[in-house]
Structure 1
Amino acid sequence: MTESEIAIRVRGVTKTFGEGASAFHALDNVSVDIRKNEFFTLLGPSGCGKTTLLRLIAGFDQPTAGRIELEGQDISHLAPFRRPVNTVFQSYALFPHMTVAQNIGFGLEMQDRPKDEVRETVARMLRLVRMEALADRRTDQISGGQQQRVALARALAPHPKVLLLDEPLSALDYKLRKDMQIELKRLQAETGITFVFVTHDQEEALTMSDRVAVMNQGAILQVGSPREIYDHPVERFVADFIGDTNFIEAELVADESDGAGTARLRLATGHEIATALPEGMRAPRHVTVAVRPEHAAFAAPGEPAALAGRVESIVYFGTDTHYHVELSGGGRFVLRRQNSRDAAEILATGVDVAIRLPRGSVQVLRD
């Protein structure tokens, strides 16, 4: 990533609230680069530091240590109104006595923009969020999803270099939230503005993002595309937080690491697997591996299998079926198979099964 491609650069940022023994470290030496024209998501559980980082970029708080740059300019201690950054919060903070158009144009008017410019920008924003027909409706007379669109239009109207979104979909119902995920991605692509989105919802992150930063306890654990984060988690927390995962203990086969970032692992069953190691990791004697339920498969009779057990329960989800298997050596394993109209159910609870782990299905995790 070249300097000219970077919108936001965070370097060694620490944020501490309080002093002494009662001090709380919300962020601990966080560094990350966010590209221009990127939909970048900060993902993690409540209290992980994602909103704190967003507030530091917005200027609502200042870092205890470290540096934040916007297109090469140090903005670490710049007042919020002096930053070309806008924020959309969980509560949309619209003016209920104003119309949709007046809400969208309010910020531009406060900047003393020419009236013709305000009128043209408002019209463009109304088209962008597809609300031309509601321009003269008061915002207390429209739905929650429509209010969300107005808040987005108001934030986009001054064409900021970066738009920060702090869990703006959390108040919407499931179907509307799904629709707005698509809309947000469309808006980002059409405007070319860098979006930094905060959420604890893994599905939102995987659906909308160009890249995702998974956070926990004030640190960024992994940054990558949604596919990289899902298929190749490097930390146990990342693997466990993103989707469903099976964890299996394994041992490194002595003196058989090939020195090229791969190794052979031996499961408790004696079955051996060749798998890649996380970048820079030298395999310890004992490791934990992750296997996604949909990456495993039932072995046919006589086919080599990594695991064996008995089907304990079967859960039908419409699009797929989850098979919960009690393993012979102890523990449980979940296997997921996609359903099709013509597929016949060939398994039942109580049936003995063997499970194979295809090449590439096993991911070694850092401790």
Structure 2
Amino acid sequence: MEAQAQVPVSDADPTPPADTSDPAAEIAIDARRISKVYRGEDEVRALDNVSVTIARNEFFTLLGPSGCGKTTLLRVIAGFEPPTAGTLWLNGKDITRLPPNRRPVNTVFQSYALFPHMSVANNIRFGLEMLGKPKKQIDEIVDEMLNLVQMQAMKSRRTSEISGGQQQRVALARALAPEPEVLLLDEPLSALDLKLRKEMQIELKRLQHETGITFVFVTHDQEEALTMSDRIAVMSAGRILQIGSPQEIYQRPAERFVANFIGESNFLDATLSGNAVTFRTGGTYEVERPADVEDGAVSVLLRPEHAILSSDPSALPATVETVVYSGEATSIHTRLDSGEALKVRVPNAPHSGGLPEQGAPVRIGFAPGALTVLKD
């Protein structure tokens, strides 16, 4: 691990974020050209010139695969990692060199780091006592936090005697108790089972809405990101590839990596000419042409749920390879006449039937607007 790095003067920006009269647009976090390089036998660039602004009272998610830099960026915001270059502003103040204990920021980690010998209430109380708050105020805050996370009935139980989901609630209450300006969450749901994880996704969103605190959430789970976030930043190899609402990221990915990482995807080779694409298997279809894509070879994204089995003779010809039932939907894996794989997802209705069998010839269509053109 490298020693404390000094931020180059050329990268330091003394200008605070511009004030705005619109509270919804006020900036909580403003990261400017942040880089983090670990030097050793092999130089590792964990963050590569990352810039991002996060609004106050926003649920913002850093999403990407392992090693993409999302946790490193979270640690830079927390103050646990000094940036090699760039500056970091929090509510209009430059905190680039401020130590963690002087930042109005709290972190909830994957391991909740609770005191197992203490009660639920005392775990929440501990940090407030360390801040030197009066006893009466501490009692009021602890009661408020217990009510917020719905743990009043278990306030006297040791944290070693409660479930994983309940421990997570206590960790959240403890982090929220000092009223930080920003709460950082480093994959806090990863240790929970699927059903509890889904429940806690809704619970986290509720807590963020009720407290009005800016949440910065790190995950590699696309469903978590789509379910909870106001905006998502998709990261890869130390860079942010796209920032947008869940709908924007899912429906209009900026590039193939983002499209492939968010949700299931069909990618079809095509040739773009003007405002139309022609597939290898035949058929020319109108599309919304991206401004930065030139005529020629492109990839076209078609989500499985946007593909439909069709009787239209102009639809794409294919052969069914596998039919997979998964409860709420059935996935039909097909092979186009061009040799490309294409999946169709059909919602299951009560007493639904009539799905094609393996080896059956089918045609696959899609509604207008279902195709997204990506750079090849």
Q: Under TM normalisation by the shorter chain, which class is it?
A: over 0.9
Secondary structure in 2 matching 1:230: helix
Distance 1:217 1:366 in 2: 19
Is 1:358 matched up with 2:367? yes
1:309-364 C-alpha deviation (Å, 9 max, x unpaired): 11111001111111111111112110111110143224211111111132111111
2:308 corresponds to: 297
Secondary structure in 2 matching 1:33: strand
Runs of at least 5 residues in structure 1 that lack an aligned partner in the other structure: 258-262
Q: Which of the numbers 265, 272, 278 marks the counterpart of 1:266?
A: 278
Distance 2:138 2:215 in 1: 23
Runs of at least 5 residues in structure 2 that lack an aligned partner in the other structure: 1-16, 21-25
| One-letter amino acid of the counterpart of residue 240, structure 1 | N
TM-score normalised by L of structure 1: 0.94
Q: How does 1:93-108 map to 2 (within 5 A)?
A: 93-108=113-128
The verdict on how the C-alpha distance between 1:310 and 1:3 changes in structure 2, with shifts beyond 3 A counting, is: farther
Q: Which of the numbers 326, 329, 353 marks the counterpart of 2:335?
A: 326
Distance 1:185 1:334 in 2: 32
* Native 8 Å contact 1:313 1:325 kept in 2: yes
1:260 corresponds to: none
The verdict on how the C-alpha distance between 1:336 and 1:67 changes in structure 2, with shifts beyond 3 A counting, is: same
2:31 corresponds to: 10
Secondary structure in 1 matching 2:136: helix
1:243 corresponds to: 263
* Native 8 Å contact 1:100 1:137 kept in 2: yes
Q: Which of the numbers 196, 200, 203 marks the counterpart of 1:180?
A: 200
1:205-259 C-alpha deviation (Å, 9 max, x unpaired): 1111111111111011111111111111111111111111000111122xxx2xx
- Cα shift at 1:365: 1.3
| One-letter amino acid of the counterpart of residue 359, structure 1 | P
1:142-161 C-alpha deviation (Å, 9 max, x unpaired): 11111111100000001111
1:167-187 C-alpha deviation (Å, 9 max, x unpaired): 011111111111111110110
* Native 8 Å contact 1:38 1:195 kept in 2: yes
1:165 corresponds to: 185
- Cα shift at 1:283: 2.0
- Cα shift at 1:2: 6.9
| One-letter amino acid of the counterpart of residue 308, structure 2 | A
Distance 1:108 1:273 in 2: 62
Q: Which of the numbers 169, 172, 178 marks the counterpart of 1:149?
A: 169
* Native 8 Å contact 1:234 1:364 kept in 2: no
- Cα shift at 1:137: 1.2
Identity of aligned residues (%): 58
Distance 2:137 2:239 in 1: 43
The verdict on how the C-alpha distance between 1:28 and 1:196 changes in structure 2, with shifts beyond 3 A counting, is: same
2:5 corresponds to: none
The verdict on how the C-alpha distance between 1:10 and 1:277 changes in structure 2, with shifts beyond 3 A counting, is: farther
Q: Which of the numbers 340, 343, 348 marks the counterpart of 1:339?
A: 348
2:254 corresponds to: 234
Distance 2:253 2:84 in 1: 30
Distance 1:166 1:323 in 2: 36
